[in-house]
Amino acid sequence: MRLIIDDVSKTYRTGVRALHNFSLELAPGVLGLCGPNGAGKSTLMSILATITQPSGGRVVWEGTDGASFDILQHPNALRRLLGYLPQEFGFYPKLSAIEFLEYLAAVKGIPSRVAKSRIQHLLEVVNLVEASKRPLGGFSGGMRQRVGIAQALLNDPKLLIVDEPTAGLDPEERVRFRNLIAELAADRIVILSTHIVSDVESTANQIALLNRGELVTHTTPEDLLLAVEGRVWECVISSDDFPLFKQHHCVSGVVRRSDGFHVRVVSERKPWENALLQTAQLEDAYLYCLNAGVEVCA
Residue 99 β-bridge partners: none
Residue 274 confidence (pLDDT)? 96
10-residue mean pLDDT profile of the chain (298 residues): values are 96 94 96 93 96 96 89 94 89 94 94 94 94 94 91 95 87 87 89 88 93 94 93 96 93 93 94 96 90 49
Neighbouring C-beta atoms of residue 117, cutoff 10 Å: 9
Q: Which residues contact 110 (CB under 8 A, 6 or more apart)?
A: 118, 154, 155
Q: SS3 of 253, please?
A: strand
For residue 287, give the amino acid letter.
Answer: L
Q: Which residues contact 279 (CB under 8 A, 6 or more apart)?
A: 232
User: pTM of the full predicted structure?
Assistant: 0.89
Residue 17 confidence (pLDDT)? 94
Please tell me the distance from the alpha carbon of residue 297 to that of residue 228, in angstroms, as a whole number: 9
Order of strands across the sheet with 260-266? 250-257, 260-266, 232-237, 276-277
What is the domain class of 1-81+158-219 according to CATH? alpha beta
Phi/psi for 217 (5° steps) reads -160, 150
| Strand (E) or helix (H) holding 34 | strand 29-34
Query: Cα separations (Å) of 293 from 86, 227, 252?
Result: 31, 8, 14
Kindly give the residue spans of alpha helices, DSSP state H, lying in the chain: 41-48, 75-79, 97-107, 112-125, 141-152, 171-184, 197-203, 221-226, 242-248, 282-291, 294-297
Domain ranges of the chain: 1-81+158-219, 89-156, 226-297
**Residue 52 burial (C-beta neighbours within 10 Å; 0-12, 13-18, 19+):** middle
Residue 292 confidence (pLDDT)? 57
